[in-house]
Amino acid sequence: MNIEFTKTESCGAGFICVDCLYKSLDFPSLIKKLSYHKDISEKDSIICICNSRKAHAKIEVFFTDGSKNPLWGSEIFCCAQYLKEKGLSEDSLNIETDRGIKSLHLNEEGLWEAEMGKVSFASHEIPVSGMHGNIISRPIMVNYRAWPASCAVVDDSYCVLPIDDLNSPDIENLALAFENNSVFPEKINVIFNQIKKPRERKNNIKIRVWQKGRGEIPFCAGGACAVCAVDVSMNVKTIKPDKPITVNFPQGSMTVLINDEWENCQAFASVKLETVLPSQILSF
């Protein structure tokens, strides 16, 4: 069997789009064979685009070591753009994920809009040990210091930490300390949210994201929604609900729209998939 795959980049992140439509595949064997390819990096996400009985397509997202990637937020935008460029979808489509069907629409400005759903801060959904209720600016001891941590669930669980300097040399060690803290029995993804000054531009956020078990990642739609929901819930003066919020990553940005009840979280991304390698055929 021959499988077509394309290596692309968006916002500094690498994605391998694999056309698995109308094929029955053994994913572990496929991922293993792809991981040996000389042009595929261990940091690339592999997006298997498959048939769906409920939507235009279904995505299965893997790391090159064969484990599943639960953070599919960014990948749904890439899948939508890939299907559009291949002529397999219109400007509106549905994509099936492990956490339900996500609707996307390509607006007049060329941005893909995605309904990311409701954000939850509930301790039992994150989960957090030894705490009850919503986890908003609650003290968590790490490295002999009580950090004002907030936690949110979107596509996965995130711990949002305010920080003065996103370029601090201690930031990686701090991310690992939180990820593996005993209060998070299932570990957690960590977001560093640069503290905003009153005179800074409103509805503008700068963050860095660490994915549990993987390290820093350049782009994360779910993380962007999580940090916006936290700022809105804390009534941060420079962040206003129901107005577009620009979330800046080290190598790109996206826009989030969220109301003050956190019931509707919409993410807007301009996804330009730069083809690093022309489509190739993998014998399988």
Q: Residue 40's pLDDT is what?
A: 80
**Global pTM value:** 0.85
* CATH number of this structure's domain 138-263, picked from the four choices 3.40.50.1370, 3.10.310.10, 3.40.50.10470, 3.40.50.300: 3.10.310.10
Q: Residue 284's pLDDT is what?
A: 58
Helices 221-233 and 73-85, packing angle to 10 deg: 130
Task: For residue 55, report the phi and psi dihedrals to the nearest 5 degrees.
Answer: -145, 180
Residue type, 5: F
| CA 36 to each of CA 30, 50, 193, 281: distance values in angstroms, whole numbers, following the listed order | 10, 22, 36, 14
d(CA 56, CA 94): 6
Contact (Cβ atoms closer than 8 angstroms) between residue 257 and residue 221 = no
d(CA 117, CA 226): 11
| CA 187 to each of CA 148, 149, 175, 236: distance values in angstroms, whole numbers, following the listed order | 18, 14, 11, 27
Residue type, 162: P
Q: How do the pLDDT tens digits run along the chain, 284 residues long? A: 677 788 877 666 778 888 888 777 788 888 888 888 777 877 788 899 999 999 999 999 988 888 888 766 778 888 888 888 888 888 899 999 887 888 899 887 778 888 888 889 999 999 999 999 999 999 999 988 999 999 999 878 999 999 999 999 999 999 999 999 999 999 999 999 998 776 666 788 999 999 998 899 888 888 999 999 998 888 777 787 788 899 999 888 888 888 777 556 777 776 666 655 556 666 65
In the chain, CATH 3.10.310.10 sits at 2-117+271-283, 138-263
What DSSP letter does each residue of 63-118 carry, written as one string?
Answer: -TTS-B-S--HHHHHHHHHHHHHTTS--SEEEEEETTEEEEEEE-TTS-EEEE---
Neighbouring CB atoms inside 10 A of 100's CB total: 10
- 2-117+271-283: which CATH architecture? Roll (3.10)
Q: Residue 262's pLDDT is what?
A: 59
Regarding beta strands 92-97 and 57-62, do their DSSP bridges make them parallel or antiparallel, or are they unpaired? parallel
Q: What is the largest CA-CA distance in the chain?
A: 59
Q: Residue 166's pLDDT is what?
A: 94
Numbers of helices and strands, H then E, in the chain: 4, 17
